[in-house]
Amino acid sequence: MKRSSALLLVLILAFHPAVLSQGSSGRSGAVAGTVREEGTSALLQGVTLDILSSGSQLKPSVSSGMSGEFSFGRVPAGDYSIIAKKDGYETSTTKVMVFPGGAQPVVILLRKVSPNTATGSAGATSVHELSIPQKARESFEKGRKLLEEEGQPAESISEFQKAIQDYPSYYEAYTEIGVANYGLRNPRDAEEALKKAVQLSSQKYLKPLYLLSDLYNGQQRYAEAEPLARQAAELENSDWHGHFELARALVGLKRAVEAEASASKCRDLKPDNAPVYLVLANAHMLQQNYSAVVQDFDSYLKLEPTGLLSDNVRQRRDRLQNELQHAPEKKDTAPH
């Protein structure tokens, strides 16, 4: 067939805590889903969940059931944050868009607290954590609540800066300053803070690695994004973020086969992550594997039937599918 008229999609940014929720009024719908352990996909019961709108709690807390299930009934249409907490796991913030009539099922992944979370060795982690003064910890926690739970990134920065004043090597605080500045659309300040976090942690703290790669990918600085994302993927192979950013960077560098492998790894780790199917579509488009592109678009639309990009993706899918159906069949020229 001739070269398809369906163009490469613009690679989109992954959600992370820098994205702020903005509530809106509308018809009510239910918000329901499950909580699983990241890496193993084990269902988690007894997780405390809160749903927030613009930093304010919308409904009473709920707990996940025996099968990890949870539900918030009759939530007005709009954008919300779900905060999930459980002893032994890192607190998670998940963004949810509620449409009139309800929302897509939500899958929340909680990462188990591990001595390897911050650095590559348990000893180094213990030394680092034990060396943080209590006053710095308190300032950091205030900043985290302002950023993640109350949706006030500008106010959170001053608290993180206080934490750094009390503990100059507090790379977690620099990371959150980067997240806050990203949300405030200050990419230069975000880049500076994230680079400082990477430096102070000797490239052994996962979060600033994939966030800085995310920032560079969004600016089409793929050659700079690729080594950071690769380091993140190698540091924590069971975390999807590094593989996702690596796939984005490799697509930008036109390294389609490698990009497909990284995107497939990300998809396997987090199959409900809709953007990864657009990255796969880009990789398959570079390989001129148009039937695979159609399947990628279908997978994306199944997860995001009414998202911001959904109409565009649907139009491209239909156009490409039509071209495939009307492509002339290759004649068998083999000798008989």
How do the pLDDT tens digits run along the chain, 336 residues long?
A: 444 433 444 434 333 333 323 333 345 567 888 998 887 878 888 888 988 887 677 888 888 887 788 888 788 888 888 888 888 888 888 888 877 666 678 889 988 875 444 444 344 444 777 788 999 999 999 998 888 778 788 999 999 999 999 999 999 999 999 999 988 989 999 999 999 999 999 999 999 999 999 999 999 999 999 999 999 999 999 888 999 999 999 999 999 999 999 999 999 988 888 899 999 999 999 999 999 999 999 999 998 888 778 888 999 999 999 988 887 765 554 454
Burial class (CB in 10 A: 0-12, 13-18, 19+), 185: exposed
> Locate tokens 């796991």: which residue?
89
Amino acid letter for position 14? A
Helix (H) or strand (E) holding 96: strand 92-98
pLDDT value of residue 174 = 96
pLDDT value of residue 123 = 41
pLDDT value of residue 11 = 39
pLDDT value of residue 272 = 83
pLDDT value of residue 6 = 36
CA-based nearest residue to 210, from 81, 8, 17: 17
Find all residues with CB under 8 Å of 150, minimum gap 6, and list them: 55
pLDDT value of residue 3 = 41
pLDDT value of residue 305 = 87
Torsion angle of the four alpha carbons 227, 117, 164, 184, in this order, in degrees rounded to the nearest 10: 60
Q: Where along the chain do its domains lie? A: 16-113
Torsion angle of the four alpha carbons 116, 146, 77, 89, in this order, in degrees rounded to the nearest 10: 20
The top-level CATH class assigned to 16-113 is: mainly beta
238, 274 in Cβ contact below 8 A? no
pLDDT value of residue 113 = 76
CA-based nearest residue to 319, from 282, 295, 294: 294
275, 263 in Cβ contact below 8 A? no
Tell me how many degrees the CA angle 164-113-149 measures, rounded to the nearest 5. Answer: 60
